[in-house]
Amino acid sequence: MQIPPGVYSYKAVAAEIKRRIAAGQYKTHMPIPAERRLAEELGVAVGTIRRAVELLREEGVVYTLPQKGTFVGQEPEPSA
């Protein structure tokens, strides 16, 4: 992945994940690839992936379930 000059790498990674979501590569409530796999695919450090995912969580693009992974979209409401 080419990161433009002057752009933080985690922001470029977040933009790439958003692009993949928009393209339908990652679908709502489906998991995105694991941190290590994404880091290898994009040629960045795992820490960069973590920062990007945190940014996407803050923006409401993804949610994380402990021991399960990170998923696209808003976390579903728990059923009664």
- Please list the pLDDT of the chain residue by residue as tens digits (80 residues): 777 677 789 999 999 999 999 999 999 999 999 999 999 999 999 999 999 999 999 999 999 999 999 999 988 877 66
Cα distance between residue 65 and residue 43, in whole Å:
25
The pTM score is 0.87
In degrees to the nearest 10, what's the CA dihedral of 50, 52, 53, 56?
160
What CATH topology corresponds to 9-72?
Arc Repressor Mutant, subunit A (1.10.10)
pLDDT given at position 71: 97
